[in-house]
Structure formats: C-alpha cells, structure tokens
A and B are shown apart, each in its own frame.
Chain A
Amino acid sequence: MSTSDHSDDRNRNRDRDSEATFGDYGGQYVPEALMPAVQELEDAYERYVLNNEDGFMDEFRERMRDFGGRPTPLQRADRLSERYDREVYLKREDLVHGGAHKLNNALGQVLLAKYMGKERVIAETGAGQHGTATAMAAAHLDMPCEIYMGRTDVNRQRPNVYRMRMNGAEVNPVEAGSGTLKEAINETFRDWATTVERTHYVIGSVVGPHPFPKLVRDFQAVIGREAREQIREKTGRLPDSVVACAGGGSNTMGTFHEFIPDDGVDLYAVEAGGSSLEIDAEEGLAPNSATLSTGTDGVLHGAMTRLLQSEEGQIMESHSVSAGLDYAGVGPELAHLVETGRVTPVNVDDEAALNGFHRLSRLEGIIPALESSHALGYLEEAHDELGDLVVVNVSGRGDKDLETVLEETEKRDLEAAPDVEVFDG
C-alpha cells in the first residue's frame, strides 16, 4: 500500500480513534492509581502511532521488516483448495520472528514504552507466545522485562518459559486460582498499580482499558493490510471471506481491520468451543472459550465487553485445548463488530481443532498453532458457505503445542491424525 493510501486510512479512522468506546463496549474501568498512566498512553498513542511523531511508525515498520521478518507471505494452499473445491489462501503469520503474530504488538508496545521514557516493561502470558514475543522485543530494544504466567501454564508450556528466560526476561509464576491467563492478568495489573510511574504494561491482546484495544489493533492491522494487497495482486480481487481464530482477539482484529469497509467480504471469528457450549453453573465453569457466541455483557480487566460470567457477575473459568484461546473475555471492538453484524462469531470444538492441526500438517507441510487450528477446523466444517475465494489466517506455528497435541490426540480417535501411539520421543 502506498503512503498516500495509508494516510487516507488514518484520516478515515481518525475520529473513531480518539473515542474510548466502540458503541457500548470499551471504556477505562481501572483503579484510580492507573488512570494517569492510561491517559499518558492515550497521549502517546495519538502522537506516536496516529501522527508518526519522531518517526515512530517508520521505525516500527523498519524493525518489523528487519527484525520481525515482515511482510509474511500469503500462500495458496494447493491441497486444501483441491479438497474444498475453492481457492484457499493462508496468511502465514507463523513465519513472523518467534513463530506468531504476537511480535507485531509486542515490538510496537516495547518501542512505544521507549519513546515514552519508561524504564521497564511487564506482560502477562497464557500459552507463552505473548510473553516470548515481549521478551524478544525487550531484549532487542534493551529494556528490562518481567512476565507473569499462571503456574498451570508454566508447567504445561516449559519451552516458552525457557525462551523467555534465554532472552533475559524474569518469569513470575502466579499461584492464584486455576493458574492460567486470567490470574496472570490480575497479577500484572497489581504490579502495574505499584510501579506505574516507570513501568509500561504490554497488554497481549485487543483487550484492557482504552487505548489498548486500538493500540494493539493498529500494531496488528499490518496482517490484514498485507493480506488485502497480496490477495489482489495474486487474484485480482478481494476474497469472499476471511477466517481467523478469536481468543482475546488480537489476530482477529489485526486480520479483519482493513477489510471492515469492504462490504462484500464476510468476516468469521472462530472461537474455541472446547468440549461443550453448555455452562456448568454449579462449578462456575465454561467448558469453552466461546465468549462472542455465548457470553454476556460486563466489565472485566478495564473494559465493557462480552464475558463468560455467572448470572451474578462472577467471571467463569474458561476452557480450550489451546491455552492461547483460554480466556473469559474478548476485545471490545470485536464484541461491537459482532453486535452490529459485521463479524460473524462461530466456533469449533477441541476435536475439530485437533483435526485441523493434523490436516494442515499432513496436507500442506505447515504445523499450525492450536489457536490457528480452530480457523482450519471451521474451514473444514463450513467451506460451502465461505465463497470461492477464502483467506485463512495462520496466526502462529504449532511447535509449542506438540506435547499437548500428542496427549490430546491419544485420547481420541481422530480421522486426520497419524498413529501417535508409536511416538516414543
């Protein structure tokens, strides 16, 4: 996209970007001690990200190119195209440095923290991908970094814990609750409330108080901007549909953002259906992370959005075979786009995601993250409704998930899987 096109985009989005809400969603529901930091960040977002002050966005794009490996390819998936009898293209975010789209946001925010004169960054992580990306960005930009990670996730994502520590980050296990992402976020908010004057909190998705949902979206919007250009170059037209998985929603918003004005392009956000869409009210547990499909409106972690919660307002434990989707909230902009009908929320269960994982690995030689595997699971289930030309975002690579996949595959009789019982290490 040319520079002039880009400034048109900026002007088009300008008025919307200064607002703290998306329809009824969004806002700034944080403890008073954090409000000045949130407002300082609003100011920095406006100056550096929207207005490119001091050449911030130029430096960000250059670093994403040279350090991050952008642009990523848009690849025609030949055997999937044949299987579904339509054109299927894959946006290869698994090829970003670190193995996931997460670096787009982490590098952007750590660089912003530098421009703001902060001395230290903190972040939370579930599966470890955001923590890893933040640790890499912090090492690259020479910034002290601490990561909060639930104890359960520390235990089941060892390789990512090692990667963070290799890059010089301190990893703090969080013992509270079920020891997953929700608890890690609470703990990071507490650190931030104590050290707010010199610390920037690198939020890992399009969630949290304004301006985080917009800031993270803008750093991730490069996914859709590239994909939109690339599909036109390769096919001469826009796709009929774009499919991306949705947990917090950062790769979803990043992939969709540039397509939102294109009315002819259908946008599908694929959530984790887990083992069931039914809620276990007695246990306060949702055996899924399908917030957009089944959640209700409420306030969590700084924003009004859709949540998995009890009738009384207690936040539920969510579940997904993919730790990266396992969160009871979702980005407020995505909730708004679903509310207004622009984005269609759909979901597939753990088994369909595992089949999606094995299918892409066998047919295309790409081992996708379990998060992305949900999008591929939906492609299998609903390809007839997706039109002749489909773009699927492969948000990350699946190396981190191999142990989980072997374990979960062994429990099930999966049609797309190899015989995992003969794996002896």
Chain B
Amino acid sequence: MSREDRRPAGRGSDIEAAIRENHPALITYLTAGDPSLEDTKAYVEALDRGGADLIELGLPFSEPVAEGATIQAAINRALEAGTTPEGFFELVDDLETEAPLLVMTYYNMILQYGSEPDVRPFVERAAEAGLSGIIVPDLPAEEADPLRDACDEHGLDLVFIIAPTTEGERLEHIMSQVSGFAYVQARLGTTGARADVSTATHESLERLSDYDVPKAVGFGVSEGDHAAEIVEAGADGVIVGSALIDIVASSDDPAADLEAKAEELKRGAVRGAESLTVDTEDTPEPEQP
C-alpha cells in the first residue's frame, strides 16, 4: 500500500481493513523521539518489515497517567531529546510504511496544537501527514464529541479503549462509537510487559463477542506465546508496546532486534489463529456417552 493509498477515506477505512485483511493483526507501539526522531524512523521501518500490520506512534506528553514505568521512561527520553509535535508530524511525513500509522497521545497535546485550545488543527495536521487514526488514553467517550467530529470530518479513526471495568450501558455506548478497532485493555492498571495473559482478557473478549468490530488486545503482551493465546481467545489483533521499548532501551542493534521481535509476535498470533481453525474444523465433536 503506498502512502497515497492509505490516506484515510472515511471512518473505519484503512485501519479496519488492515486488521481484517491481515488477520490476526500485529499492532506495535513506539514512543516517537526515543531516543531521537531519526532512530524512531529506522525502528518503525524495521517493525514494518518484521510484519507489523498497524503501527502506533506515541507523541510524548509530560504526564502520562495511563502508562507504566517502561513507557514513562521512553516518554522522558523523548522529551529530553526535544521531541515536539511538529517534529513528530515531520517524522510521519517522512515515513514510508506498508502498515497504516496511528498517533497515541494525551488530550492536552491535541488541544494545544494551534494558537488556542482546539482539537481541529491537530486533526487537520494528522490527516495531512497521512495518519489513519488517533488513540487518546485520557479521553473517555463521554468527553470525545469534539474530537470525534473533527476525526469524522478528516476521515480519521478515533480508537476507544475497552477496560476490564467497561460493562453494561457504557460498553454499548462506546461500542456504538468505535471506529477502526476496539482497543481491549487486557488487565486493570497501566501499560507494561507482563509474564502472563490475564484472565480479564478472556472475559473482556467474551463480553465483546457480539460486536462486529475488530478487537485488538494490549497492556502486558510481550511474547509470541501471549499473542497466540490472545488470538485463540478470540482477538483479531495483539498490541505490543513496552516489550518493544525494552528493546529500544537496551539492545545493541535495536532495528534488527525489533524486526525479529515483530516476526516472533506475528508468528505467535498466526499460530493462535491456526490452532483455532484446527479446534473448530478438524477436531471431531466428542461423542456423547
């Protein structure tokens, strides 16, 4: 897909397509500017080569209340390196990836872009740079009308997070407004790599099973085996962030290691999908005694 092709054409357009066509999808997150915007460009391209189907780029905000220690440290490094919203958009202008790109940032960063607090200048610039969607961890559906209107106007998806605590009427209300995909938060708490897959993941996916919207699971996913388990539990995609940032922070050759990690995660997701096919199609029904 060329950059022109992935320019958004309407709500749910290329993000939803990227997940459905590449099912099970791998969604990766990196903080832009960690440790520099130039490095981020190389890392994003490595993830793209490694099989990422959708790439989230974090625009750093100084008070990331929804993030755990790993992403907070990445944000601090990016801010210390002088990452600005304009530098972020210029990076996106320059990126050539197969995978569509989303921006993940906090609401104040969106409001402050432009001469006075308003969401529109940010959304216009995001569309111009070729971003396909926006995720805002501190913007619940109740406060999202202005941003959603601007996103609709410019053909960007506004992705909402479904938490383990999201149930009942709120769940219905949010699911009626989801575009692109539903970001399923695997567990309570903040972002950060974990050693296991939470039971809350299974419960959340169960609650969402009636909604015909792609579901991707994030918060704590770090290995191919997790990806397999999550896809087996019914997810259309897995979202990985902190585990990739650990590579950025500690590897001698981050680009190569990120590419390899993306391959491992994608393989895991595919394995999960295959075992699902085996389970449903090839396993004979047990005979009733």
CB within 8 Å for A35 and B112 given contacts A176-B72, A190-B190: no
Interface-centre pick from B61, B66, B79, B185 (highest chain A CB count, 10 A): B66
| B43 interfacial by beta-carbon distance below 8 Å | no
Is the CB of A298 closer than 8 A to any CB of chain B? yes
A182 touches B63 (CB 8 A): yes
- Interface bits A24-65 vs B (CB < 8 Å: 1, else 0): 000111111111110100000000000000000000000000
Q: Do A314 and B164 have beta carbons less than 8 Å apart?
A: no
- Is A31 a contact partner of B138 (Cβ separation < 8 A)? yes
The reply to whether B139 and A29 form a contact with Cβ atoms under 8 Å apart is yes
Tell me the bound Cα distance from A27 to B140 in angstroms.
Answer: 10
A292-311 CB contact bits vs B (8 Å, 1 = yes)? Answer: 00001111111000010101
Q: Is B189 a contact of A32 with CB atoms below 8 Å? A: no
Q: Tell which of B85, B137, B170 touches A31, judged by Cβ atoms closer than 8 Å.
A: B137
Interface range on chain A (Cβ under 8 Å from partner): 35 or more
Decide: A313 and B189 in contact? CB cutoff 8 A. Answer: no
Which residues A146-204 have CB closer than 8 A to chain B? 176-177, 182, 186, 189-190, 193-197
Interface on chain B toward A: helix, strand, loop, or mixed SS?
A: loop
Residues A35 and B166 in contact in the complex (CB < 8 Å), given A29-B138, A298-B112: yes
Convert B86-119 into 0s and 1s, putting 1 for each residue whose CB lies closer than 8 angstroms to a CB of A: 0000000000000000000011110111000100
The answer to whether B140 touches A314, judged by C-beta atoms less than 8 angstroms apart, is: no
Residues of B within 8 A of A (CB): 61-66, 68, 72, 76, 79, 84-85, 106-109, 111-113, 117, 137-140, 142-143, 160-167, 170, 174, 185, 188-190
Whether the pair A314, B79 counts as a contact (CB closer than 8 A) is yes
- The CA-CA distance from A297 to B111 in the complex, in Å, is 9
Partner of A193, one of B66, B109, B139: B66
Q: Which label, helix, strand, loop or mixed, suits the secondary structure of the A interface? A: mixed
Name A300's contact: one of B84, B108, B140 (CB within 8 Å). B108
Smallest CB separation, B203 vs chain A (Å): 13
Q: Does A312 contact B (CB under 8 A)?
A: yes
Instruction: Please indicate the chain B residues that have their CB under 8 angstroms from the CB of A35 in the complex.
Output: 140, 142, 163, 165-166, 170
Interface flag for A315 (CB, 8 Å): yes
Give Cα A103–Cα B250 distance, bound, in whole angstroms: 46
- B165: contacting residue among A36, A186, A298, A315, CB under 8 A: A36
Contact B68 A32 (CB under 8 A): no
- Alpha-carbon gap, A221 to B65, bound state (A): 30
Q: Which single member of A39, A298, A302 contacts B111 (CB below 8 Å)? A: A298
Contact A36 B188 (CB under 8 A): no
Task: Name the residue of chain A whose CB is nearest to the CB of B139.
Answer: A29
**What chain A residues lie within 8 Å of B166 (beta carbons)?**
32-33, 35-36
Taking a contact as CB atoms under 8 Å apart, the answer to whether A193 and B108 are in contact is: no
Residues of B within 8 A of A315 (CB): 62-63, 108
Among B62, B112, B142, B188, the most chain A Cβ lie within 10 Å of the Cβ of: B62
With contacts A33-B188, A300-B108 taken as known, whether A186 is within 8 angstroms of B65 at the C-beta atoms is yes
- The complex places the Cα of A59 from the Cα of B138 at a distance, in Å, of 35
- Interface residue ranges, A against B (CB under 8 Å): 27-37, 39, 176-177, 182, 186, 189-190, 193-197, 296-302, 307, 309, 311-315
Do the beta carbons of A186 and B63 come within 8 Å of each other? yes
Q: Could you say which of A37, A309, A314 has the most chain B C-beta atoms within 10 Å of its C-beta?
A: A314
Determine which of B106, B109, B111, B161 lies in contact with A32 in the assembled complex, contact meaning CB atoms within 8 Å.
B161
Q: Are B162 and A32 in contact (CB-based, < 8 A)? A: yes
- Closest CB in chain B relative to A309 CB, distance in Å: 7
* B163 touches which of A28, A29, A32 (Cβ 8 Å): A32
Q: Is the CB of A301 within 8 A of B165?
A: no
| B112 interface neighbour in A27, A29, A311, Cβ under 8 Å | A311
10 contacting pairs across A/B (C-beta < 8 A): A31-B66, A35-B165, A37-B165, A193-B189, A298-B117, A299-B106, A299-B107, A312-B109, A313-B112, A315-B108
Q: A29-B138, A32-B165 are in contact. List 17 more A-B contacts (CB 8 A).
A: A28-B143, A29-B107, A29-B140, A29-B143, A32-B163, A32-B174, A35-B142, A35-B166, A37-B165, A186-B63, A196-B165, A196-B188, A299-B108, A299-B111, A309-B112, A312-B112, A314-B62
Which residues on the B side are within 8 Å of A176 (C-beta)?
72
CB pair B63 A301 closer than 8 Å: yes
Given the complex of chains A and B, what is the CA–CA distance between A332 and B137 in angstroms?
Answer: 21
By beta carbon, the residue of chain B nearest A27 is B143
Whole-angstrom CA separation of A276 from B174 in the bound complex? 46
Q: How far is the CA of A348 from the CA of B262 in the complex (A)?
A: 56
CA of A27 to CA of B85 in the docked complex: distance in angstroms? 25
Q: Please judge, given known A-B contacts A298-B111, A309-B108, A309-B112, whether A30 and B138 are in contact too, CB under 8 Å.
A: yes
Chain A residue at minimal CB-CB distance from B138 = A29
Contacts of B162 in A (CB 8 A): 32
In the bound complex, residues from chain B placing their C-beta under 8 Å from that of A28 are 140, 142-143
B135 to chain A, nearest CB (A): 11
CA distance A48 to B149 in the complex (A): 37
Determine whether the beta carbon of B190 is less than 8 Å from that of A298: no
B113: contacting residue among A27, A186, A194, A313, CB under 8 A: A313
Q: Which residues of B contact A297 (CB under 8 A)?
A: 111, 117
**How distant is the Cα of A300 from the Cα of B107 in the complex, in angstroms?**
9
